[in-house]
Amino acid sequence: MSLEQPMSGDCIIEAGTVLCGVLPDGTMSMRHDVGIRVAGGMIAQIGPLAAVAYGNDHLARFGSPDMIAMPGLVNSHHHFGITPLMQGVPFAPLEFWLPQFRAMRQIDVRLDTLYSAIEMLESGTTMVQHINSGLAGAPENWMATANATLEAYIEIGMRAGFSFMIRDRNILTYDEDAKVLATLPDTVRSWIAPKLHASNIPIADLMTFYRALRESWFDARPDHVRINLAPANLHWCTDECLHTIFETARETDAQVHMHLLETERQSNFAHNKFGHSAVQHLKALECLGPNVTLGHGNWMSRADLDIVADCGCSICHNASSGLRLGSGIAPVNEMRRRDIPVALGIDQSNIADDRDMTLEMKLVWALHRETGLWNDRPDAGAVLQMATEHGARTVGFGGFTGRLEPGHQADIVLMDRRKIGRPHVNVRTPAVESLLHRGGRHAITQVFVGGRLVVNDGKVITIDREAVLSEIRDRLECPETQGERQALDAIASLLPHLEAYHRNFTPAAGYRSYRYNAMADEEYVLPHRK
């Protein structure tokens, strides 16, 4: 591990407005015309600049009265860097999209991680929940992958939670893989069967690896790394697998991040398999609690949400993902009515195919307006809380960062009020509304993680960003290898067979509106469209 780099700094940061965090009454706590003194990476003092600076002439000074300071943003659900679209994979429903990943070109883990980290940091995201898509092969490869990923985040200066998706069934569809393999042509079966076998790792071995990884990284970087657990989804995990994962989480006090009810087909699976919803099944298995974050949740019913609230779980809302893949729109307003903490994730990439959380926040705000005159809807402060404080909690840094208050880590983003307001914003417009609706990557001047400057003048300064981007381009523009062409041919042959399976699994000829998914079922029935 590259452990010698400094990860925090002592400095004074000046701002005309500081967005400290949302108060219990839902209003945004703010300070004006202040300095923030950082000591040992932590916010030590916020107050009038003269008072904060007194006796501290030796400290580096940043910011100005033109700056709006906000907590560093959190991407609470992320997988890898180079996007499928960049690799030629077209958008499709999740069940047809994921199999095509197997034909994407492989890129060095460090470069791939740095690519998305550059996009995140330069748009104000200082923390990420990195969910590796799944381990395969020999244990030494698992550790090499995890170390390379976390070392890249350390190198660039981000905080990170790391987990790996765990599956022990139904990799190809919602049915047993052996049944699906038996229907495939010999050439396709001989190509994909070894890959399924390589990822068929005993759960006990994965838990042993998890414990070793957690001990290694948490001891080395307790302020910057969390090692979490990620059961992939209910249809991908047997009850025995889930029992082992959640028992390990209880023993190690770990956060758990589990994809759940992302698509309507996943909802159907639970009802067909167990006779009740996925959330009800997890509750019966005692797999829900305050340490659990459920990713997506697009197809949760009101009864499901009551259970989630009672168990103290969080939900990670991946708005762009649900729209781009046609998976659905999560009932965020129903979640908020139950005081369920909602975090934000960009998943594979956002609506613009990058990792700009300021853009994702705009989408989330607009998506959940609903049509009533007086309905409760998230304001700008609530959306910012989702992208900061609530996100930090899901990664395992709750109470540690996510707010700008003394005693919290100095993860701070400075936006230039002049760029937000150009040519003019009325003084009556609340600063948090201006920041959400008019702010963005173009207005970010500096980003700090633990008081350490990692972005200056809108660009990452901790690594040679241009060298990273150039190396990625050179590697991906090389001619395809024979193995890569074979993979493309195999996936092209596989997809029709998966489509045939799903036509049987989802026999309805039409489709339903997914606004707001399962919520609609309880109020009225929409006719199928031909």
pLDDT exceeds 60 at position 146: yes
pLDDT value of residue 9: 85
Mean pLDDT for the stretch of residues 310-333 = 96
Confidence of residue 468 (pLDDT cuts 50, 70, 90): very high
Cα(330)–Cα(328) distance, integer angstroms? 6
pLDDT exceeds 90 at position 254: yes
- For the chain, the first-to-last Cα distance in angstroms comes to 57
Beta bridge partners of 409: 42
Domain boundaries along the sequence of the chain: 11-71+406-468, 73-395
pLDDT exceeds 60 at position 376: yes
pLDDT value of residue 6: 54
Instruction: Report pLDDT digits (tens) over 407-423.
Output: 999 999 999 999 999 99
pLDDT value of residue 517: 64
The set of long-range contacts for 510-516, using a CB threshold of 8 Å and a minimum separation of 24, is: 512/264, 514/264, 514/298, 514/326, 514/327, 514/328, 514/329, 515/329, 516/329, 516/330, 516/331, 516/334
pLDDT value of residue 218: 84
Which residue carries 């990557």 as its tokens? Answer: 441
pLDDT exceeds 50 at position 527: no
pLDDT exceeds 80 at position 197: yes
Architecture of domain 11-71+406-468: Roll (2.30)
113: left (phi over 0), alpha (psi -120 to 50) or beta: alpha
Mean pLDDT for the stretch of residues 426-441 = 96
Cα(307)–Cα(115) distance, integer angstroms? 38
Q: CB-based contacts of 211: which residues, under 8 Å, 6+ apart?
A: 248, 252
pLDDT exceeds 50 at position 13: yes
3-state SS string for 276-324: CCHHHHHHHCCCCCCCEEEEECCCCCHHHHHHHHHHCCEEEECHHHHHH
User: CATH assignment of 73-395?
Assistant: 3.20.20.140
Q: CB-based contacts of 44: which residues, under 8 Å, 6+ apart?
A: 37, 38, 406
pLDDT exceeds 90 at position 50: yes
Cβ distance 313 to 293 under 8 Å?
A: yes
What DSSP designation does 347 have?
B
pLDDT value of residue 525: 42
What is the share, in percent, of the chain residues with pLDDT greater than 90?
Answer: 90
pLDDT exceeds 80 at position 487: yes
- Structure tokens given for 4: 């010698």
Q: Which of 289, 278, 394, 375 is nearest to 336 (CA)?
A: 375
What is the DSSP pairing of strand 73-78 with strand 125-132?
A: parallel
- Structure tokens given for 468: 């990273």
Confidence of residue 505 (pLDDT cuts 50, 70, 90): confident
Instruction: Report pLDDT digits (tens) over 95-121.
Output: 999 999 999 999 999 999 999 999 999
Confidence of residue 504 (pLDDT cuts 50, 70, 90): confident
